Structure formats: structure tokens, C-alpha cells
Amino acid sequence: MTLNRQPNFDDADAFYAALIEAHRDFSDAESEAMNARLVLLLANHIGSHDVLFEALDTARTSVLEERT
């Protein structure tokens, strides 16, 4: 299995709104804690070693690119 990077949301706009809404009234520390839990929940759902490592690598590379 490989990481699906094509559009895959049932409803992209609704998800995005819900994601922001889920952080409502949170301090930065609380948002950070929530994001960590979200990552863990989703990572467990995916489970596949290859997909997770590809996702980690893609996300990390994207952040590193901003450095330059």
C-alpha cells in the first residue's frame, strides 16, 4: 500500500471546518495536545507501516523545504 495523495474526502470543506471548530477556545498547548491525539488516532486507523512512514516523510520534507 502507498499513501493516497489524490483527493479522498467525502466532503473536504466540511472536514476543514470541523477541524478548525474542534480547536475552538483551546490555548496553544491544548491545541497541540489535541493535534497529537488526532495524529495518534488516525495513525492507528491507517496502521500500515509503509503508508505511515511515507506520510511522515512527506510532512517532514514539506516543513524542511520552508527553511530554505
Partner 1 sequence: MPASHKNAVYVYRHSADQDAARPVHHPVIVVGAGPSGLTAGIDLAFRGVRGVVLDDNDTVSVGSRAICFSKRTLEIWQRLGCAAPMLEKGIEWRLGKVFFGKQRVFEFNLQPEPGHGMPAFINLQQYYVEEMLIERAMRLGVDLRWRNRVVGIREHDDCVWVDIDTPDGRYVLTADYVVAADGANSPVRDMLGLESAGQVFNDQFLIADVVVEAPFPTERWFWFDPPFHEGQSVLLHRQADNVFRIDFQLGADADGNAALEPASIAPRIRAMLGDKVAWSLDWASVYTFRCRMMERFVHDRVIFVGDAAHQVSPFGARGANGGVQSAENLTWKLARVLRGESPVALLESYDNERREAARENILNSTRATDFITPKSHVSRVFRDSVLRLAANEPFARALVNSGRLSTPCAYRHSPLSTPDADRFEGAARPGAVCPDAPVVRLGRREFLLDSLGKRFTVICSGGGLPEGLRDDADIDVLEVGVDFDDVEGLVSKRLDLVAGGAYLIRPDQYVCARWRVPTADDVVTAWRRACALS
CB of 5 to partner 1, least distance (A): 24
Beta carbons of 8 and 56 less than 8 angstroms apart: no
Q: Between the CA atoms of 12, 14, 20 and 21, what dihedral angle is there, to the nearest 10 degrees?
A: -170
Q: Is 64 in the site for partner 1 (CB under 8 A)?
A: no
Integer CA distances (angstroms), 62 to 9, 21, 44, 58, 67, in order: 21, 25, 22, 6, 9
CB of 53 to partner 1, least distance (A): 16
Among 44, 61, 62, 68, which residue sits at the site for partner 1 (rule: CB under 8 A)?
44
CB of 59 to partner 1, least distance (A): 13
- Touching partner 1, residues 5-34 (CB under 8 A): 32-33
